[in-house]
Every structure is written in structure tokens, then in C-alpha cells.
Structure 1
Amino acid sequence: MLQPLHRLCRGHTRYLSTSLATPQSFRKWYQQLWTTKRTNLPPYNHFTQVGDPVLRDKAAEVPADYVNSKEIHAIIDQMVNVLRKYDCVGIAAPQIGVSLRIIAMEFKQGIKKDLSEATYKARQMSELPLTVMINPQLAVTDYTKHKHPEGCMSVRGFSAEVERYAAVKLTGLNREGSATELELSGWNARIAQHEMEHLDGKLYTDHMDRSTFMCTCWETVNTKSGRVEIPFYK
């Protein structure tokens, strides 16, 4: 299997053992009282969450010989599956626990019906067909900055205003390993910048307008007297 795939996330499920097996030392016995037990391995079918070390690592490039491999195709398939399951517009491989430089983006026309016409226009949104980029590189083509609310499925339940460049150019390899280039502007340029940051171990919270950071369901929390849960599955 492709070597970078072994950079697995650390699980946090604990189990308690109370038996003292001789001739183990007390220290070894004590260390085994609380141990890490993996019950689920990447590529995940959910979004990793802030705090997971994979989100702070700089992702490795996919070696040229592996670009068109079944392992990479399986990772891409899982990324697209998670992207669509959660009705998102962008995803990076670290968000499913795989520290490789792969992103996928898709802005469906149907999103428009969930937004006001004013919001859709102000944020310069437009349809973007499913786009997969392996080992992408980003160049800014319009340094004008726009500030809009932004969220992240790896910082579930929160959002903040973030400044992004107005237009960018992405270059990289498509799913089949062919060189590709894409010019993006408006909201789609924002998606690309957001996902590219994931590949460098960054989150939007690193450079957001901190005064605008908010829980996206704060009103519901008050209405329901705090009886609100933020799901991490779907």
C-alpha cells in the first residue's frame, strides 16, 4: 500500500483493564489501565475535527507513480462520498484522515435555492462541476480581498468572517493524472483557498476576524434551553 497512507490518525477510544498479569512490572500494568484502541481507520467516512493532528500536518505530495493507482482512486472516491453526504462544497484529504495533497470541490446549482438572491450575488457564487486536484498549486490572479462568513466541516458548528482573494488559478493533476488548470473567481476562489490551506495544516480560524467567531446555532441553543446537539455524523 502507498506509504503515506500509513500516516494514520490517533484514535481516542479508551478501555479500562483491572487485571494485573505477572510477571509484568507495576509500571507496565499501570500504563495499560488507559490505552489507545483504534476502532476506525482512515480514509474516514466523516470529517476529522480540529484537535486531530492530521489537520495540522503539512500533507505529502502524491508520488507520480501512484497518482493513477487504485489506492489514490479509493481515497478520491471516499472524499467525494463524504463531500456529497454532508452537502459540502469542498474537501481536502486530511479531512478524512489522509495526509496527502488532494482536494475536491463541487458547487451545485441546487445550493442557490437555499440562499437569498442578495446573498448569492453578494458572495459571487456560481456553479462549479465536481473538480478533483492532485498535488494542486495555487496562484493569486486578483489580489482584491473580500470578507464573508465562512465555516468548515472540521470546525463543526462554528463560523467567522474571513478575507480571501477575489480570483485564483489552480494547477495540478486530475483524477487520471493529466495536467489541468482552472481559473476561479468569487466564492469558488474562496473554496479553493480554503481547501489549499488544509493541505498546509492551516484552518480558517488561524486568520479569521476573531470578533465574528460564532456558534452557528446560538439562537437555537437559547430557544431550546441549551438542549442542542451538534452532530458529527450523517
Structure 2
Amino acid sequence: MTAAAPADDVPAMLPPGALVERVEAVLAQDLPAIVRAGHPVLRRPAQDFEGQLDDGTLGRLIATMRRVMHEAPGVGLAAPQIGIPLRIAVLEDRGVQDPAVAEARGRTPLPFTVLINPRYEAADGALAAFYEGCLSVPGYQAVVERHARITATYTQPGGITVTAGFEGWPARIVQHETDHLNGQLYLDRALLRSLTADAEHHRWAQPTVDAARRGLGF
């Protein structure tokens, strides 16, 4: 299975008809490509989903996004990452086997979740700093300090709007993907002295970032 070529440039706003055409063009690909940093669609706030797609097309889009996320592999994918400027993201994380990592990072399993038009706010003042990567910025990881607990409001595919609390790693995933929908990459929030190539990340792959702080001086 091969990935298709990256999507062409996408205007900041697409009328409903053009948006449907864009979605159908992406869905027609065998495996839609993940666009990389430098593509303008990643740097523009995505459009609110307001019923521009019928239920069947929305369902096909969500299923395709889930497949792309799994193939990457990743634990989250936002629609702009496959060239579609809509406020839709999919999330799923099976967690990790290492109990020390799971405890330090609060990495509990996150069942498959679809966020439509999400927004979030901090539940309290607690912050947590850990390494993150991004499917649109391959080859590197960096430490990002994020809210440890959040309250998120989003719409589900059936049209029901819910407000739910997230903490630990699931909260980090929600924030990362919602940032994508706002035109932000994780590097915008990263401690850049922590930036690490994947080939060097074994040095700092401990449950916490304490060793990386000492070694890289951030």
C-alpha cells in the first residue's frame, strides 16, 4: 500500500461545494498522505464543521482518518493533516506496557474518540512536561509543557455535544490535536533546547524528562 502525493494548497476558507470536492478527492486516494510542516493548511485555523458533509461522507472521512492514524502509526490525527481544513480530529491510544512510564506520564488507554469543533480549558493550574512528536514533523521530538488536566467540549459524530474531563496523556493528546485545528504545531509550544532527533532520543527515553533537562540544559 503506497501513500498518495500530498494535497495541493488549500484556501483559508472553502465554500461547502468546494469543501465536499476536497474531501472526496482525499477519500479517493488509497491511503491519504499526511502533510508535513511547511504546508499552509497546517498553519491556518480550520473551519468549524457545520454540516458541510452528509452523514455518510462524514463517516467515511472519520474511518479514513482512523486508518491513516493507525498506519502512521500515531495516537491522534487532525483533518488538516490530510489536507482537509475542518475542525475534526480522531484519537486512540492503547497505552504502554511499561508500568513506570504509564505511571509517570499518566498514560492510560484512550478509547477511539472523535472530536468535532473541540475546545478545551485547564481544569486547574497543574502542568506536566514530556516529550512529544508529531506525524507532520517526522524525525524529531521535543518537550512540551501542557495542562495536566483539562475540560474539553466537543461534538460527537451523531451531533451530540459533550463536555468531558481528560487528564494525563489523554489530556495531552486532546490538546495536541486541538492545537492542530487552531493552526498550531507542537513546536510552537516546545522547549526548543530539548529538540531531539529520533536517532538520539534513546538517550532521554526515561519515564520523565529529568535526565534530558540536565543533559540538554532546558
TM bracket (short chain): 0.7 to 0.9
Deviation for aligned residue 1:71: 2.4
Deviation for aligned residue 1:7: 8.7
- The question of 1:131 aligning with 2:113 is answered yes
Q: 1:107 aligns with which of 83, 87, 93?
A: 93
Which residue in 2 is equivalent to 1:184?
A: 166
Mapped contact 1:60–1:99 kept (Cα < 8 A) = yes
Which residue in 1 is equivalent to 2:66?
A: 80
Deviation for aligned residue 1:207: 1.8
Aligned counterparts of 1:196 and 1:219: Cα–Cα separation in 2: 26
Taking a change above 3 Å as real, the CA distance of residues 76 and 141 of structure 1, as seen in their structure-2 partners, is same
Taking a change above 3 Å as real, the CA distance of residues 133 and 219 of structure 1, as seen in their structure-2 partners, is closer
Which residue in 2 is equivalent to 1:54?
A: 41
Deviation for aligned residue 1:148: 0.4
Mapped contact 1:68–1:177 kept (Cα < 8 A) = no
Larger radius of gyration: 1
Q: How does 1:1-234 map to 2 (within 5 A)?
A: 2-3=16-17, 5=19, 41-43=25-27, 45-63=32-50, 65-66=51-52, 69-108=55-94, 111-113=95-97, 116-218=98-200
AA matched with 1:214: T
- The TM-score, its normalising length taken from structure 1, stands at 0.72
Mapped contact 2:141–2:196 kept (Cα < 8 A) = yes
- Structure 1 segments unaligned to the other structure (5+ residues): 10-40, 221-234
Deviation for aligned residue 1:219: 7.7
Deviation for aligned residue 1:42: 2.7
Deviation for aligned residue 1:145: 0.9
Deviation for aligned residue 1:4: 5.8
Aligned counterparts of 2:164 and 2:54: Cα–Cα separation in 1: 20
Mapped contact 2:46–2:182 kept (Cα < 8 A) = yes
Taking a change above 3 Å as real, the CA distance of residues 146 and 187 of structure 1, as seen in their structure-2 partners, is same
- Structure 2 segments unaligned to the other structure (5+ residues): 1-14, 203-218
SS in 2 for 1:176: coil
Aligned counterparts of 1:219 and 1:166: Cα–Cα separation in 2: 23
Deviation for aligned residue 1:66: 3.7
AA matched with 1:112: V
What's the CA shift string for 1:8-53, capped at 9, x where partnerless? 59xxxxxxxxxxxxxxxxxxxxxxxxxxxxxxx5356232110111
Aligned counterparts of 2:53 and 2:20: Cα–Cα separation in 1: 17
Aligned-pair RMSD on alpha carbons? 2.4
Q: How many residues align?
A: 185
Instruction: List structure 1 runs of 4+ shifted beyond 4 angstroms.
Output: 6-9
- The TM-score, its normalising length taken from structure 2, stands at 0.77
What's the CA shift string for 1:124-177, capped at 9, x where partnerless? 110111010111121211221111001001101100000000111111211111
Identity %: 33
Aligned counterparts of 2:44 and 2:104: Cα–Cα separation in 1: 34
Aligned counterparts of 1:51 and 1:7: Cα–Cα separation in 2: 23
